[in-house]
Structure 1
Amino acid sequence: MELDPEKGEKPGSPAAMLATRAKRARERAGLSFRALGEKLGYPHTYLDRVERGEQLPSPALAETMDAFYKTDGLFSDLRALALAVAAETPKWGHKVLSAEQRAARIQTFNSSVVPGLLQVEPYTTALFVESMPGKDAENIALQAAKRSHRRAVLSSATPPLYWAIMDEAALRRPVGGSAVMAEQVQYILHMIETNSAVHVQVLPFTRGVHPLLGGSLSLLTLRDGAQFAYVESFASGVSVEAPADVMELATLMDIARSKALDSGDSLAVFRKYLKEYENDH
């Protein structure tokens, strides 16, 4: 599990939180990896991988860490939660979830729903209720909480530049009803107006056809300059890393952006829909 928790940043997953807490506990104890390894009875290289987020601790190591640091089951609980999250996240989504925490820039287009990092929990819950038939309420609540937790990346000490393009269809479709949509649109407006790292444009129906109809595309630029694309459709997704393929997808994003409204006109559209949904409930 590839993670890169950095000092001063909010962790993006239970696994990243475990790594951060392990490092913090060792440093507070004033121990080197070798000294800690001698006390716990584990190789110092293993402990180093745990702190760097490259490997989850075994159940035995998590219990040993809890006993040594007197953390009342914290590491065991985080390990269990990390495994649950990994099990519930489709394999094709693991890379993008990790990369969000290390991104310098995130560009995304969504043709039918509000982008994940801008969703409020009631909106996400309503989506999952319809898209996860047969799942119980507890499972749906877990998925909604996971997506809500991802939003923390936009309010971290060093957030990535986040540039989203939304098809107007995402605003027109009343996911969860008028009250939920009013809360959702209000949150998007709040993020645009209070977070200088967040830019959202609307691609209106009046602009006609564009090259990203019916799908979702994210372009991520990491802090080390690496780039990759993530294309998602119904129940599937794929990460694209070949430079030529990423460039081709970036061109499609550029064309969609060229058809979108500018910031001022997009704000007007959001306010229009907010007023409509507020008047409906």
Structure 2
Amino acid sequence: MELEPGGRGAHAAPAEMLAARVKLARTKAGLSLRALAEKVGYPHTYLSRVENGDQLPSPALAEDLDSFYETDGLFNDLRTVVLVAAAETPKWGHRVLEAEKRAGRIQTFNSSVVPGLLQTEPYTTALYVESMPGKDAENIALQVAKRAHRREVLNSATPPLYWAIMDEAALRRPVGGASVMAEQIRHILHMVETNSAVQVQVLPFSHGVHPLLGGSLSLLTLRDGATFAYVESFASGVSVDGPAEVLELTTLLDIARSKALDGGESMAQFRKYLREYEDGC
């Protein structure tokens, strides 16, 4: 059976995608839950929990669904992706991944790399290859796919206002080489020029020190007005939602923003680096 992307499965997290595809397969086959339960030999209540995303299918169920629908290992593969995603996403990052989907505004500062939601796949791949020693190619590919999925929030029907500040170090550091950097900068320019919800500023070396050197900070404001901060360093991160702490971190971000170039000056800086990387290709 060929399953076309549809519903929430088209732009869903791995677990949501698996649940949606299981339900889509049954719907396309014209079966009720009870009818499917009789054919594959599992309780209809169990199948219902799987379709609702409340329970992960067992390896046996995933294999039996693939056999019944003739989906060539689709459900077993999706189950593996869900398990890997859960294992590889640090606990401190789970809240951010969920909040990005519900945010009305995302403000972020990165001191050394391009912000995640603006990264191209070649840039992300190079970043993971060089910063994840010992990880095999399949593992890295899964991480890149997760990052690519997260970017979809900026292309949704109602995207959050995304305001990113990048230290010039992120432009100077040639992740993946000149051609990858050129493509990355072209992507940022395209996003700013075509998506009114995206704003990006560069904080240049010439403007001296700032209070966020050496780390990254994100402020996520949900559509109900609640705001929390996420501070990430080398191999750890922490969510902060205490009013006093969020206010303090907001002040630090405001100071960094005050030192950044304005929109037009930032675009000129991007184009300057783009020319340099294109000349080096």
Please report the TM-score for the alignment, with normalisation by the length of structure 1. Answer: 0.84
Distance 1:162 1:187 in 2: 15
- State whether residues 12 and 150 of structure 1, in contact with CA within 8 Å, keep that contact through their aligned partners in structure 2: no
Is residue 2:100 matched to residue 1:93?
A: no
Superposition deviation, residue 85 in structure 1: 1.8
Distance 1:48 1:222 in 2: 31
Superposition deviation, residue 91 in structure 1: 2.3
Superposition deviation, residue 277 in structure 1: 1.0
Distance 2:273 2:31 in 1: 56
SS at match of 2:11: coil
Length, aligned pairs only? 275
Change (3 A) 1:23 1:244: farther
Deviates more, 1:187-196 or 1:71-80: 71-80
Superposition deviation, residue 206 in structure 1: 2.0
- Paired letter, 1:156: S
- State whether residues 12 and 101 of structure 1, in contact with CA within 8 Å, keep that contact through their aligned partners in structure 2: no
- State whether residues 129 and 140 of structure 2, in contact with CA within 8 Å, keep that contact through their aligned partners in structure 1: yes
- State whether residues 118 and 151 of structure 2, in contact with CA within 8 Å, keep that contact through their aligned partners in structure 1: yes
Structure 1 equivalent of residue 160 of structure 2: 160
Identity %: 75
- State whether residues 8 and 17 of structure 2, in contact with CA within 8 Å, keep that contact through their aligned partners in structure 1: no
SS at match of 1:101: helix
Structure 2 equivalent of residue 187 of structure 1: 187
Deviates more, 1:237-246 or 1:55-64: 55-64
Provide Cα deviations, 1:29-76, integer angstroms capped at 9, x if missing partner.
6777788778774364x5555444444233344345545655444332
Structure 2 equivalent of residue 174 of structure 1: 174
Superposition deviation, residue 128 in structure 1: 1.8
- State whether residues 9 and 21 of structure 2, in contact with CA within 8 Å, keep that contact through their aligned partners in structure 1: no
Structure 1 equivalent of residue 43 of structure 2: 42
Gaps of 5+ in 2: 1-5
Provide Cα deviations, 1:144-173, integer angstroms capped at 9, x if missing partner.
233223222222233222111101111111
- State whether residues 105 and 161 of structure 1, in contact with CA within 8 Å, keep that contact through their aligned partners in structure 2: yes
Structure 2 equivalent of residue 234 of structure 1: 234
- Paired letter, 1:251: T
- Paired letter, 2:183: E
Change (3 A) 1:97 1:54: farther
Please report the TM-score for the alignment, with normalisation by the length of structure 2. Answer: 0.84
Change (3 A) 1:9 1:16: closer
Distance 1:96 1:31 in 2: 37
Provide Cα deviations, 1:4-26, integer angstroms capped at 9, x if missing partner.
xx956842432121133244445
Structure 1 equivalent of residue 3 of structure 2: none
- Paired letter, 2:215: G
Distance 1:80 1:275 in 2: 42
Structure 1 equivalent of residue 126 of structure 2: 126
Distance 1:230 1:49 in 2: 32
Distance 1:30 1:223 in 2: 38
- Paired letter, 2:137: A
SS at match of 1:213: coil
- State whether residues 14 and 81 of structure 1, in contact with CA within 8 Å, keep that contact through their aligned partners in structure 2: yes
Superposition deviation, residue 220 in structure 1: 1.6
Superposition deviation, residue 134 in structure 1: 2.5
Change (3 A) 1:42 1:219: farther
1:19-34 aligned within 5 A = 19-25=19-25
Deviates more, 1:240-249 or 1:267-276: 240-249
Structure 2 equivalent of residue 3 of structure 1: none
Structure 2 equivalent of residue 102 of structure 1: 102
Distance 2:38 2:133 in 1: 50
SS at match of 2:15: helix
- State whether residues 8 and 16 of structure 2, in contact with CA within 8 Å, keep that contact through their aligned partners in structure 1: no
Distance 1:155 1:7 in 2: 16
Distance 1:62 1:76 in 2: 5
Gaps of 5+ in 1: 1-5
